[in-house]
Amino acid sequence: MEKTKNRLEVCLSPAIYDKHADDQNLVVIVDILRATSSICAAVHNGVKSIIPVATVDEAREMKQRGYMVASERDGYVLDFADFGNSPFNFTPEIVSRKEIVYSTTNGTRCIHKASHSKAVVIGSFLNISSLANWLIEQNAPVLIFCASWKGRFSLEDTVFAGALAERLLNSGKFESICDAVTASVDLWNLAKPDLFGYIQKAAQKDRLASKGLDDCIEYCLTADQTKVIPAFQGDRLIDISDQ
Amino acid sequence: MEKTKNRLEVCLSPAIYDKHADDQNLVVIVDILRATSSICAAVHNGVKSIIPVATVDEAREMKQRGYMVASERDGYVLDFADFGNSPFNFTPEIVSRKEIVYSTTNGTRCIHKASHSKAVVIGSFLNISSLANWLIEQNAPVLIFCASWKGRFSLEDTVFAGALAERLLNSGKFESICDAVTASVDLWNLAKPDLFGYIQKAAQKDRLASKGLDDCIEYCLTADQTKVIPAFQGDRLIDISDQ
């Protein structure tokens, strides 16, 4: 008897999340420039765990309690934080074996928003193959959740969603149940021949460039730099790739 | 001195609308399958005015007050209504010089949601050239507002948004300020060589087909069948193309 395929959906903005929410979903959080790329870099570089917090007040309180804190709003490092949101901050020398508190404009809020789900994992080009293989093995519905920019639509998150969706669909174990999957796969196929060139059109690229923060874009678009799969368990992100 | 260009935005779902709302916007409501196509057809066929109402209760009350009522939910004609949401219902014989009350799953709600704006007009492939020219003449920011399906993302509305956005950008009088414009124009250019074929991928096509309501899709994708520009003024939609 043919096995039923699992649902595959893409949510293009946190404002639409409630339409896609389901306790059975494996939710992939996507904030390519830069939160989820940075989380993958930090976990790859040996961070013990990352505690994502949604608000600036929570981040400040955790700093007072002695944690190392990465925190930014609109690309700016918050004054009390140890550093901001560039993946280049999270070097092995700085983060290895540390617990880090992390709060960003968009990405970390989505982690909490999806925390009712069966699993919440972190996706970026850095870990795309490892993550795709893990998702295919789980035999559960998948929702790719684009953090986007302040609730709007984000080109780079959508293109990544398409790249991941294409791999899941190619496994034969998933079926798309929404137009957002179709659109993101089509945009990924447009972008793929020159991903870096295509992402020059993204508004977030201009936001980062205006603050001198665009040095990490090529890094954030480079696939398969790590096998880690950061997952939200309890109150923190830990690597589950070897579980 | 070079004139400042007007903002051009695309809103991909009513759930995101608040992020784009601005009293100065000219808002184009888009619900290609089928509300805004049907409204253009009705106005072209001589309807005096269309009163969009958001709820089923309002539609029922207006029927009791003697109005002709077009009303559907999820593609089904409501039992008290004279007809549903196919553009083929609105023939000159039936609608000419009539006032019609209209309520649909997605499109009519967006009209009210945007009613704070400088203008609210109805867009579809049927009136795309006439509408594009009118928008270019107004010298004001434009928001193309996709009604979508129950707050999710809709392929056919986005592709139309791209077709209209491309015309506005080509006029040289607009500048895109959001990634949704970029994505919708790129999807339109993918779809353009075979629009009917491309829209076969849309979930709404399957929803309509499952109810035998897909006979109007080719009609709804055919450009420039009318010059009318239905606009929301007071509590009703009237043609402003000759104003």
Domains annotated for chain B, with CATH where assigned, are 6-238 (3.90.1560.10)
Q: How far is A43 from chain B (nearest CA, A)?
A: 30
The ipTM (two decimal places) reads 0.93
Interface test mutation site (partner A, options B18, B145, B153, B176, max chain A beta carbons within 10 A): B153
Name every chain A residue with its beta carbon within 8 A of the beta carbon of B158.
179, 183
Of B19, B158, B187, the CB nearest to A150: B19
As a residue count, chain A comes to: 243
∠ CA B121-A180-A27, rounded to 5°: 135
Give residue ranges of B with CB < 8 Å to any A CB. 12-13, 15-16, 18-20, 149-155, 158, 177-180, 182-183, 186-187, 190, 201-204
Number of H helices, E strands in chain A: 11, 11
- Name the token pair of B155: 């392929």
Name every chain A residue with its beta carbon within 8 A of the beta carbon of B187.
183, 186-187
Name every chain A residue with its beta carbon within 8 A of the beta carbon of B155.
179, 182-183
Name every chain A residue with its beta carbon within 8 A of the beta carbon of B151.
16, 18-19
SS3 state of residue B229: coil
pTM of the prediction? Answer: 0.95
Name every chain B residue with its beta carbon within 8 A of the beta carbon of A153.
12, 16, 178-180, 183
φ, ψ of residue B61 to 5 degrees: the values are -65, -40
**CB-CB under 8 Å, B158 with A183:** yes
A90, A47 in Cβ contact below 8 A? Answer: yes
Of B12, B182, B190, the CB nearest to A12: B12
Closest C-alpha among A31, A28, A30, A38 to residue A216: A38
List, for residues A64-103, the tens digit of each pLDDT value.
Answer: 999 999 988 887 888 999 988 899 999 999 999 999 999 9
φ, ψ of residue A199 to 5 degrees: the values are -70, -10
Name every chain B residue with its beta carbon within 8 A of the beta carbon of A178.
152-153, 203
List, for residues A42-63, the tens digit of each pLDDT value.
Answer: 999 999 999 999 889 999 999 9
**CB-CB under 8 Å, B15 with A12:** no
**CB-CB under 8 Å, A19 with B155:** no
Q: Which helix (H) or strand (E) holds A140?
A: none
What value does the mean pLDDT take over residues A20-40? Answer: 96
**CB-CB under 8 Å, B15 with A15:** yes
Q: How far is B48 from chain A (nearest CA, A)?
A: 36
Task: Give me the tens of pLDDT residue by residue for chain B, a chain 243 residues long.
Answer: 556 899 999 999 999 999 999 999 999 999 999 999 999 999 999 999 999 998 899 999 999 999 999 988 887 888 999 988 899 999 999 999 999 999 988 888 899 999 999 999 999 999 999 999 999 999 999 999 999 988 889 999 999 999 999 999 999 999 999 999 999 999 999 999 999 999 999 988 888 888 888 899 999 999 999 999 999 999 999 999 987
Compute how many other C-beta atoms are within 10 angstroms of the C-beta atom of residue B130.
16
**CB-CB under 8 Å, A152 with B180:** yes
